[in-house]
Structure 1
Amino acid sequence: MPSKPAPIKKAAKKEPAKKEEEKAPEAAPAEAAPAEASPAPAEVEAAPAEAAAPAEGEPTPPPADAAAPATEETPAAAEAPADAPAPATEETAAAAEAPADAAASTEETPAAAAAEAPADAAAAPAAEEVAPAVDAEAPADAEAPPAEEPKPPTPPPPPKEPTSAPVDLFVEDKNDTSVTIIWSQPEVVGDSGLDGYTIEICKDGTEDWKAVNEELQKSCRFVIKNQTTGDRLKIRVVAVNAGGRSPPVALPEAVLVKEVANRPKVRLPRFLRQRYVANVGEKINLSIPFTGKPKPVVTWTKDGQPLDTKRVNIRSTDRDSILFIRTAERDDSGVYEMCVKVEDFEDKASLILQIVELPGPPASVKIVDTWGFNVALEWTAPKDNGNTEITGYTVQKADKKTGDWFTVLDHYHRLNATISDLIMGNIYKFRVFAENKVGISESATVAKEEAKILKTAIEYKPPEYKERDFTEAPKFTTSLNDRATTVGYSTKLLCSVRGFPKPKVIWMKNQMIIGDDPKYRQVCVQGICTLEIRKPGNFDGGVYSCKAKNTLGEATVSCKLEVKQPVVPDSEKK
């Protein structure tokens, strides 16, 4: 019987079905969404009609639109998700292939779906042998979920608008080859933002606008370079963003490519506005700034004549001019004039340079008068003042005996002076130095004459006094004393006497006048009378007397001199 083999096939295919049922849950979540996107009802209904008839003896499959669950006798169980709206279950054998077919069916036209349906239906009987049995517990009245309505298409975004025109365009600077312009960003930028600016130029009288920047300019300042001097340019700026170009903003008038001429001006430093003084041999380095545009032409003159380039060096830059003298000399003094010129405009400034040194000595010095302890001097200014005014003089004197010079006056401003407090009886010489800002002259001028301070005659009248009688007879104020001496040792006898007139002194020995005996030396000074006995012997002892005698009288004093023998030790006696 043909109906009996079906149970045998069912029993043989139970184990693979169980294995596929275990794998099916893993793919089910990913396949759920595609399974819902089923084809239109017309496509589903067309598939069963074109399917091949089942073999003789097998049960007839239910219609495709029936909600009955698939069994082992259903021929198209493997292709059910693609051709029928039946919901996919965990027990469906062809769950892995459903998403691909379902996704394709959502995008294909109904005609294409109908063409594929017979092919799938023809393969259904062959799949009967491998299709697992559907769970018998599936509901018999289950229905397919309703199809989703298609979403309306997204409307295109509104077109982007360009910005408004830039504002406040004007020329910041220009020279012979370039023009610098600046501007402000547009008042209205919009949501699309601002990408940059394009700067365009054309010659005056034409409309041939050309961009001068290859890339968009981000900043609001641009230098238009490499232009021809004398051209007149029309300039405009356009803002650019995603919406395109903005309306341009242009300069009201064409710009002449030529450097703006500023009047030249010499900025003479304050210390050079008066006379500049320097010493001979110093280095002169004066920097004088100036302004002007374009670069002014600088010229120098000295006392109205061109400069001697061997003596004076001039170095000029765009901002200042430097006057340099390596070693200053007196001849470098004068009025220097600096002139800066731009086109028809010029400015001048003058400075006075004075090179000074030590002055020479006064031309002449002479003594005009001498009286008492005073001397009057006069002198004349030096022939060489060191190229500056004389600030004073220094006057010195010297005594002819010593020859040493002493300063009497310094920083003296007049050409005559009176020297006082000189010493009577001395002879003096005088000299004068000149002085200026640099210092005192190295040499001085000496007066040819000499000044002698004479002694003046003085009449002295002594006071009248009564004459006093100083006469006095001789009187000894110190008498003689007895003396003892040793043989061979000299000795002296002393006494003092007074009297007026001066008394005459006589020495005696044993009442005998000694006289001029060379053994004795007699001295009488200021009333002190001395008798020296030179190396007395055994017979020089005795009584010595001193007598003083004048017209009023005489006086005598005496003493005894003993001459002893020297003591001889006992050892020498033996």
Structure 2
Amino acid sequence: MTGKTTSEASVSSPAETEPEPAKVPTTESSGEEAASDSTGQGQAPEPQKLGSQALDPAAPEASATPATTKPEPPSEDVPSAPLQLTLEDVSHSSLTVSWEPPEKLGKLGLQGYVLELCREGASEWVPVNPRPVMVTQQTIRNLALGDKFFLRVTAVSSAGAGPAAVLDHPVHIQEIVEAPKIRVPRHLRQTYIRQVGESVNLQIPFQGKPKPQASWTHNGRALDSQRVNVRSGDQDSILFIRSAQRSDSGRYELTVHLEGLEAKANIDILVIEKPGPPSSIRLLDVWGCNAALEWAPPQDTGNTELLGYTVQKADKKTGQWFTVLERYHPTTCTVSDLIIGNSYSFRVFSENLCGLSDLATTTKELAHIQKADITAKPKGFIERDFSEAPSFTQPLADHTSTPGYSTQLFCSVRASPKPKIIWMKNKMDIQGDPKYRAVSEQGVCTLEIRKPSPFDSGVYTCKAINVLGEASVDCRLEVKGGSLKISLVPSHWGQIEPIFVTGDR
């Protein structure tokens, strides 16, 4: 056999030796039991009751391993002893053993195994299973705490049972000890803050087997039973304070004990209330539209640190308070943007996690914002001389035009006073000639030449003159393109005048 098959068995205790019915171990078989033959040969004996010596506490203690009284059949017909009898598991009410098949199964073949137990101090072996079973592992259940057993197993054939394999040491059925462990909830791993008058209800789960003992201390001392109630169960401990006071603040330590083992957990509780007002306040200075204040921290911070101060102002006319600063940490400040002609009072509140102090410290004197005597002192006006001789900021540019199409020349001049503009062609004044139109606006000088011909080509000059001087710029205009034709037409005086026509028209 290469694999192990398992069965569960039970054994009964003698009723006549116990005042109350004992817990009866039970077994369940998961393997295949060996069937007995029709003649009844080879069956294991029926389970025997343990004698009074086994349960009598005054009976003399037997040897470490009880003696075996079974006669040995011939070694050729019966199997040899099973191998490697091992205790696999022990709990508070059961045990599991396993073994290996014997080396020799005998000539008549193997019918199964018989597992027997003997209580410590007794001499009789009690079979666990009434007939041989073909399993190599068995679990015995419903055992009583405190029992100690010796175990042995024998292989059985039709010729009888072979030699037994005996477990070296007795098996002790006892409670399994699970080390205690405390599981602190996440919200209690940091300081637990409550306000004065609120209740404190802490439920701390823990583990341990058997039931551990839980105890609490406050700052290393025993709890005040008149204020703190503790209730501990199998899996948690509850600490309850109906109405918390500041004296309840501190470190609470939960200790869980179990058979020499212990686990500890610390929980910090802080009970707070609103702070007192600042100790004093005074008006340091008033200037312009500003007032400087200074105050002292409160004597009672409410058992926690301050979050800052709230500064308010009130106009004497309206008496309404307006907040100027919130959660302001320094103890000095300057209040600005006050209205000229008004008088102001100031007050300061302290603030912590519970909120603003119930009272505020108010200045005894008013801050009067005076109207300042302001005298206007106009400065003497110095008139600036903007006189400037003419100068061209943009000169004329050479230009090429097509005959018959009007063209324009541009330049810009700067001068003060306003200069006189004179246009010339080939150094000849062309003012008043209807062929030209001169315009000067905002220092921009424009000369329009209406329908120029090649005879209008030449050098054009723009001259600017004022009392401070003069300036001029030149450019060349070329009128190109088309052919020259001369026509004779009568005038309105009856004379014939030549007309020059350019282009093919």
Normalising by structure 2, we get a TM-score of: 0.51
Change (3 A) 1:387 1:200: same
Please name the residue that 1:221 is paired with.
139
What letter corresponds to residue 97 of structure 2 in structure 1?
W
- 1:383 matched to 2:311? The reply is no
Please name the residue that 1:284 is paired with.
200
Work out which of the residue numbers 82, 89, 97 in structure 2 matches 1:172. Answer: 89
Per-residue deviation, 1:403: 0.5
Q: After the TM superposition, which residues 74-473 of structure 1 pair with which residues of structure 2 at under 5 Å, given as runs? A: 165=82, 169-170=86-87, 172-175=89-92, 178=93, 180-184=94-98, 198=115, 200-203=117-120, 207-211=123-127, 220-227=138-145, 229=146, 232-236=148-152, 250-461=166-377
Q: Is the 8 A contact 2:88 2:98 kept in 1?
A: no
SS state of the match for residue 341, structure 2? coil
Q: Is the 8 A contact 1:163 1:194 kept in 2?
A: no
Segments of 4+ moved more than 6 angstroms: 156-164, 190-197, 212-219, 238-247, 462-465
Q: Deviation per CA, 1:444-488, whole angstroms, max 9, x where unpaired?
A: 2212222111222222346899xxxxxxxxxxxxxxxxxxxxxxx
Q: Deviation per CA, 1:308-366, whole angstroms, max 9, x where unpaired?
A: 22322222223322222333333321211111222333332221111223222222222
- % identical equivalent positions: 44
More helix by share: 1
Q: Is the 8 A contact 2:85 2:166 kept in 1?
A: no
Per-residue deviation, 1:418: 1.1
Per-residue deviation, 1:199: 5.3
What letter corresponds to residue 378 of structure 1 in structure 2?
E
SS state of the match for residue 225, structure 2? coil
Q: Is the 8 A contact 2:285 2:293 kept in 1?
A: yes
Change (3 A) 1:158 1:300: closer
Per-residue deviation, 1:212: 6.5
- Structure 1 residue runs of 5 or longer lacking an equivalent are 1-155, 466-574
Change (3 A) 1:411 1:251: farther
Change (3 A) 1:450 1:200: same
Distance 1:428 1:297 in 2: 66
Per-residue deviation, 1:399: 0.5
Change (3 A) 1:429 1:261: same
- Structure 2 residue runs of 5 or longer lacking an equivalent are 1-38, 44-77, 382-505
SS state of the match for residue 271, structure 1? helix
More strand by share: 2
Per-residue deviation, 1:171: 5.7
Q: How many residue pairs get matched?
A: 304
Please name the residue that 1:64 is paired with.
none
SS state of the match for residue 247, structure 2? helix
Please name the residue that 1:92 is paired with.
none
Per-residue deviation, 1:216: 9.6
Q: Is the 8 A contact 2:42 2:160 kept in 1?
A: no
Q: Which has the higher contact order (CA 8 A, sep 6+)?
A: 2
Distance 1:376 1:460 in 2: 29
Q: Is the 8 A contact 1:169 1:249 kept in 2?
A: no
Distance 2:129 2:113 in 1: 11
Change (3 A) 1:373 1:269: same
Q: Is the 8 A contact 1:166 1:183 kept in 2?
A: no
Please name the residue that 1:571 is paired with.
none
Q: Is the 8 A contact 1:196 1:240 kept in 2?
A: yes
Change (3 A) 1:267 1:213: farther
Distance 1:158 1:215 in 2: 12
Q: Deviation per CA, 1:502-534, whole angstroms, max 9, x where unpaired?
A: xxxxxxxxxxxxxxxxxxxxxxxxxxxxxxxxx
Distance 1:373 1:337 in 2: 58
SS state of the match for residue 194, structure 2? strand
Q: Is the 8 A contact 2:90 2:96 kept in 1?
A: no
Q: Deviation per CA, 1:516-553, whole angstroms, max 9, x where unpaired?
A: xxxxxxxxxxxxxxxxxxxxxxxxxxxxxxxxxxxxxx
Change (3 A) 1:429 1:318: same
Distance 1:157 1:401 in 2: 121
Normalising by structure 1, we get a TM-score of: 0.45
Q: Is the 8 A contact 2:110 2:156 kept in 1?
A: no
- Larger Rg: 1 or 2? 1
Per-residue deviation, 1:377: 1.3
Distance 2:152 2:330 in 1: 81
Q: Is the 8 A contact 1:166 1:184 kept in 2?
A: no
Q: Is the 8 A contact 1:163 1:240 kept in 2?
A: no
